[in-house]
Amino acid sequence: MNTIVKGIDQLNRLVIWIIVLLLGVMSAVIFMQVIFRYVFHAALPWSEELARYLMVWSTFLGASLGIRRRALIGMEVLVKALPKLATRITLELVTVFQIIFLAVVLFYSIKMTMVANSQVSAAMLIPMSWAYVGIPIGMFLMILNTIAVALERWEGVK
Amino acid sequence: MGTILLVGLGVLFLVNLPIAFALGASSTLAMLIQGNVSLMIIPQRMFAAVDSFPLMAIPFFVLAGNLMGDGGISRRLIAFASSIMGRVTGGLAIVTVATCMFFAAISGSSAATAAAIGTLLIPAMVKRNYDLNFAAATVAASGELGVIIPPSIPMVLFGVMAGQSIGTMFIAGFIPGFLIAGSLMATAYFISKKKGFVGTEKSSLKQITATFKDAMLALLMPVIILGGIYGGIFTPTEAAVVAVFYGGVIGLFVYREIKISDLKKIFTESTITTATIMIIIANASTFGWIMTREQIPVKIAEAFLSISGGSPALFLLLVNILLLFIGTMFETSAAIIILTPLLFPISQSLGIDPIHFGIIMIVNLAVGMVTPPLGINLFITCNIAKTSIEDLTRYLVPYLLVLIADIFIITYIPQITLWLPQFMGAIK
């Protein structure tokens, strides 16, 4: 069980580098947009679109790390007030439910990405699937991290 | 479909599913059980919601705030505020409010403001014989300035959700922000006078100039951001990215308190903070789509209108009570995302100014964040001060009463919010 959690965390370390890069490029591109407009009086046609797609990616990848760090907040008050066993059962059921929801979105986002393969973006003229595919990748990572959190909770109980 | 949606959301909230997934999953359930719509709508709505240039101001403001926070800005702002106001009775408490005000002009969130200022000022106040719980209550109460004084993440969200100018929202937040800061300072003064919390020693004019020089680069940041937006030089998103570069250059090369190697951590934290808000927006979008399809906002509006009898004043009172209550349970951003599509149309049919309504929502939710037993700012400051919410509450009550009075003043005197934007020609 421990090796699974370690494996997921290893993958997360790679994801961290990716999101650092995404935010870095996003900042640089929009900064360039400002510079080009005011210094060179030339608007960049692609900067805004690129940054928007990078933000989509960073949202869904970032949320998977948010799950791992328990930063996605819910209402803990009621569940914590339950008897111990009931708290545990609720937590496990909610985890299963969350995984099912993420899997449904994963499935339909793959479908959407495949459909979008023939569409082209307005400014950069790249296939829209390049932008869309951030969602299924993010959903997959969210499922893995939900599992990692659940496994860790199990280990803690034992 | 509507019933499943709302009941599902309620149940999923209560069993501690994260807000984002509760919104998404209740929408999915509603579509599965009753709808004849393709579930492909879900990822499509998610993408469309996040694929937004105005919303990009959020990651940039978060990043700029983190760069400034880690770059030694908070300490310099405190030194400057202390040199001016430290001498009066309750000096450090007043300094706390003032520093939160300055910091709010860099950061867009209440929690970040309370954390950044509380970590430094709570121990400092305790060292000077202030009551620990008074110190913590002061930080919790002033932290809410974070979302009221621009730039503010909830204002960006309201602007996007309600189709209002983010720049105008920012400028409208100024006078309400000063009103709240002023009233908190006065409260801190009177409590300190009663309890005998004294000021620090006087500082000379020379010290004031020295600390001002040291803090000047930080104080210049809001001028660049807001000046740039109102001068028509940047969009709010571009202003935010300029703040990122400004904060980065100062932290790395001028104050030299962050190293290149710290950037990875700062960028990671900023992305995760942003993603926790954006993932709510993504899921709320599917939710909103079903609500509109089922005409739920219209139905709620009718119910609201029949209760309030079409009176804007009564409607606003109901909104005040509702938001104060919601604000104690949900983070301001999440509440804005969920409630704006519901409440904003009603406010418009009653002829309430859209910008004024946005500010009312934000001020209410911000006060909710410091209201026991569930306010988020309280948890953060109690954590820093190592005290309990029960102990802190005794000192918090006067602050809360003042804040609630502020809510009513801001709600029922629209000019407080609207005078400055009108004066600057941002609205007619």
- What pLDDT digit, counting tens, does each position of A10-35 carry? 999 999 999 999 999 999 999 999 99
Which residues of B fall within a CB distance of 8 Å from A130? none
Mean pLDDT of A50-77: 92
* Distance from the A15 Cα atom to the nearest Cα atom in chain B, whole angstroms: 10
Question: Hey, are the CB atoms on B16 and A91 less than 8 Å from each other?
Answer: yes
Question: Hey, are the CB atoms on A24 and B267 less than 8 Å from each other?
Answer: yes
Q: Report B:215-274 residues touching A (Cβ under 8 A).
A: 233-234, 237-238, 241-242, 244-245, 263-264, 267-268, 270-274
Mean pLDDT of A55-68: 97
Which residues of A fall within a CB distance of 8 Å from B263? 20
Binned at pLDDT 50, 70 and 90, residue B233 comes out as confident
Cα–Cα distance, B101 to B221 (Å, whole number) = 13
Binned at pLDDT 50, 70 and 90, residue B37 comes out as confident
Which residues of A fall within a CB distance of 8 Å from B13? 74-75
Cα–Cα distance, B16 to A90 (Å, whole number) = 9
- Torsion angle, alpha carbons of A121, B166, B313, B416, to 10: 180
The average confidence (pLDDT) of chain A is 91
**Confidence (pLDDT) at B349:** 85
Q: What are phi and psi of B369, to 5 degrees?
A: -70, -15
Would the pLDDT of A103 be above 90? yes
Residues of chain A with pLDDT > 70: what percent? 98
CA distances from B306 to B314, B316, B353 (A): 11, 14, 21
Would the pLDDT of B375 be above 80? no
Mean pLDDT of B215-232: 84
Nearest to A23 among B53, B55, B271 (CB): B271
Question: Hey, are the CB atoms on A109 and B234 less than 8 Å from each other?
Answer: no
* ipTM summary value: 0.95
* Domain extent for A128: 2-157
**Confidence (pLDDT) at A117:** 82
Using a CB–CB cutoff of 8 Å, tell me whether B325 touches chain A: no
Question: Hey, are the CB atoms on B272 and A112 less than 8 Å from each other?
Answer: no
Angle at B205 between CA B204 and CA B207, to 5 degrees: 65
Cβ–Cβ pairs < 8 A, chains A and B: 175
Question: Hey, are the CB atoms on A56 and B47 less than 8 Å from each other?
Answer: yes
- Asked whether the beta carbons of B110 and B144 are under 8 A apart, the reply is yes
Per-residue b/e over A96-123, b at no fewer than 16 CB within 10 Å? eebbebbebbbebbbebbeebeeeebee
Weakest-pLDDT range from A36-40, A143-147, B264-268: A36-40
Residues of chain B with pLDDT > 90: what percent? 37
Weakest-pLDDT range from B88-102, B105-119, B184-198, B289-303: B105-119
Would the pLDDT of B109 be above 80? no
* Distance from the A107 Cα atom to the nearest Cα atom in chain B, whole angstroms: 9
Cα–Cα distance, A129 to A90 (Å, whole number) = 37
**Confidence (pLDDT) at B383:** 80
Residues contacting B403, CB < 8 A, separation 6+: B141, B144, B180, B183, B184, B367, B370
Question: Hey, are the CB atoms on B238 and A23 less than 8 Å from each other?
Answer: no
Would the pLDDT of A48 be above 60? yes
Q: Is B270 helix (H, G, I), strand (E, B) or coil?
A: helix
Residue A17 tokens, joined: 């580098």
Number of domains in chain A: 1
Using a CB–CB cutoff of 8 Å, tell me whether B17 touches chain A: yes
Cα–Cα distance, B344 to B387 (Å, whole number) = 38
Supply the Cα-derived Rg of chain A in whole angstroms: 20
- Residue A59: CA count within 13 A, CB half-sphere: 30
CA-based nearest residue in chain A for residue B268: A20
Nearest to A34 among B47, B242, B267 (CB): B242
Would the pLDDT of B20 be above 60? yes
Which residues of B fall within a CB distance of 8 Å from A132? 43, 47
In terms of phi and psi (left: phi > 0; alpha: psi -120 to 50; beta: otherwise), the region of B192 is alpha
Per-residue b/e over A56-66, b at no fewer than 16 CB within 10 Å? bbbbbbbbbbb
Question: Hey, are the CB atoms on A74 and B282 less than 8 Å from each other?
Answer: no
**Confidence (pLDDT) at B86:** 78
Cα–Cα distance, B299 to B89 (Å, whole number) = 53
| pLDDT (tens digit per residue) in B130-175 | 888 899 999 999 988 888 988 888 999 999 999 999 999 999 999 9
Would the pLDDT of A157 be above 70? no
Question: Hey, are the CB atoms on B59 and A72 less than 8 Å from each other?
Answer: no
Nearest to A75 among B16, B24, B271 (CB): B16
